Structure 1
Amino acid sequence: MTTTVQTGAPPERQGMTKRQRTTFIRSGQYAIIVVIIALLAIVGHWNDFRLQFLDFHSMGQILPRVLKTGLINTLLYTVMAFIFGLVVGLIVALMRMSEVRLYRWIATVYVELLRGLPTLLVLFLLNYAIPTLFGPSSKIFSNFYLLVTVGLGSVAAAYMSETIRAGVQAVPKGQMEAARTLGMSRGQAMRLVILPQAFRIIIPPMTNEIILLIKDSSLVYALSFTATQYDLTYLTQTAASGGISGIAATASPLLLAGIAYLVVTLPLSQAVRALERKQAKRR
């Protein structure tokens, strides 16, 4: 019986290589994006958009007020709320890590309550409910800047406290043990050894908190304020609705407000990414 042995190279596999498949898929994705952009360019009513959102005359009229009033007030409210939130958040974080059960319970209730309530509702309660409870004659509840600081800052403190607590817990436990070995009390070790290291860890998320506060500052319209206290959003919204004499009622001021927010927040976002890359290199 004769056996025939076939020789030669094996047949080549049909189909694309992995690199070819990747190129094909990416090309398809790019094509879809180009099609979507083309459809938007064809279907969009760009002339109406230009009349409503690109009225450069209205933008030029409102720009001085945006810079002198809206943007300055927005940054002022953000800084005040952030400082208040950082101080209160640090206290709440330490209370949540305390060995005293009552402190932990109070801090937990605060965090869960303030994180669960919308910021707008908190501002309404401060402006209307608290004065009703303690009396409208109390000067502390009639100060607009104090209401803004406490309202925005108390909500921010609930989030900051969790960020600070996570940063403290990220510090190796051996740091506390080494500090106690050197004769430091628990409070001294926390203040001099643990917290400085924790704050270096939490700088990026804290910067994100500033960005959130900048946007949340638009909620101060819930409080009674004067024209000189308008934030960026409320000022441009008033101009867009025709509430400022001499300025046409178009949506262009709102677009200007968006640009102003981006001018402030985009550099902060870049700073966060730079800090994260720097910390990654250290690790």
Structure 2
Amino acid sequence: MVTTVGAASRQSFDRGLTLRTLQRAAEMTVGAILFIVILELVLHFDILDSTLWGLYGPSYFLSGIFGTLQYLAIIIPLSVAIGFSVGWARLSRFRVLTWPLSVYVDFFRGMPPIILVIFASLLGPSLVPARFHSQGLGILMGALALGLHSGAYQSEIFRAGFMSVPRGQLEAAESLGMTFGQAMHFVVLPQALRLSVPPLANELAVVIKDTSLLAIIGALDLFGLSNIFSQQAVFGSNQLWWVFVVWTAVALVYFVMTFSVTELLNWIDRRYHVKGLEAVSV
């Protein structure tokens, strides 16, 4: 009976989450449409102009989105892996391990990502054996630099999650016969990861927007290709109003990407939320 009631409550909760997510998506869609309509009225342009999209759409817009997704497929998994590993390792009692990691975190958190991208693209290829050199190696190094930069921030997010679980729980698990690894896996990690999801959503939204920095070193992502097309529209075709359309479309794509990732992680947070867990302190 208790199991049936619990399952019914969970299903009702999931339906509520789905409805709220759909409602929020609908609100954002209506807001975006109103924003575009106002821009069209004020700046006197047509965002659905067929001539513009015939030139910009296939070669620049769609290719740019694909390029941005490729860089995100490198940066996000790398940054999450680094953040989790470094955040966990910094809890070690061994100073010889925590000190170098603290230097890494402080350095990358204190550097502007645009500087890291430039230096990585210029100096990074020299660290790679010549047989692995390619035309896009500098851009790849810039993407790795963004992964290291975000990983430093995420390490603090994960570390705060680990530290939010009282040490008494770990000691209680070990007193019940669990090994240290079992206690971390079954007791500490489930709580720490739940606490890390909300701030992690914000950091991943920043990472998505930071990929536009790769355009300064020649990356053919959404920002880079749109910038090339905008220059051609102004100096080649003398169509200044096309610039407003292009950058409005770019802004909408980045908004959809960040909104989707944020809502996904927020859904995960609500789906696996444990009441009262947010109040746990060290």
Q: Give the structure-2-normalised TM-score.
A: 0.71
Structure 2 unpaired stretches of 5+: 1-37, 277-282
CA distance in 2 between counterparts of 1:121 and 1:138 reads 27
CA distance in 1 between counterparts of 2:93 and 2:178 reads 18
Summarize the Cα distance change of 1:213–1:135 in structure 2 as closer, same or farther, 3 Å threshold: closer
Deviations 1:83-122 (A, max 9, x none): 1111111221122111001211111111110000011111
Deviations 1:121-155 (A, max 9, x none): 111111112445x4783626863564244111100
Q: Who wins on radius of gyration, i.e. which is larger? A: 1
Find the partner of 1:178 among 163, 172, 180. Answer: 172
The answer for the alignment partner of 2:34 in structure 1 is: none
5 Å matches for 1:246-265? 248=239, 250-251=242-243, 252-265=245-258
The letter of the residue matching 2:251 is G
Deviates more, 1:189-198 or 1:102-111: 189-198
The letter of the residue matching 1:173 is R
Deviation (angstroms), 1:46: 5.5
Say whether 1:155 aligns with 2:149: yes
Contact 1:58 1:247 in 2 (8 A): no
Deviates more, 1:183-192 or 1:70-79: 183-192
Say whether 1:117 aligns with 2:111: yes
Summarize the Cα distance change of 1:158–1:213 in structure 2 as closer, same or farther, 3 Å threshold: same
Find the partner of 1:234 among 217, 221, 224. Answer: 224
Greater per-residue helix proportion: 2
Say whether 1:97 aligns with 2:87: no
CA distance in 2 between counterparts of 1:92 and 1:54 reads 45
Structure 1 unpaired stretches of 5+: 1-40
CA distance in 1 between counterparts of 2:268 and 2:41 reads 40
Task: Report SS of the residue matched to 1:282.
Answer: coil
Aligned length: 234
CA distance in 2 between counterparts of 1:238 and 1:128 reads 22
Contact 2:230 2:246 in 1 (8 A): yes
Contact 1:77 1:149 in 2 (8 A): yes
Provide the alpha-carbon RMSD of the alignment.
3.2
5 Å matches for 1:13-162? 49-51=43-45, 54=47, 56=49, 57-66=51-60, 68-132=62-126, 134=127, 137=130, 139=132, 143=137, 146-162=140-156
Deviation (angstroms), 1:242: 0.6
Deviation (angstroms), 1:219: 0.8
Find the partner of 1:205 among 190, 199, 217. Answer: 199
The letter of the residue matching 1:264 is M
Identical aligned residues as a percent: 28
CA distance in 1 between counterparts of 2:224 and 2:60 reads 10
CA distance in 2 between counterparts of 1:278 and 1:256 reads 32
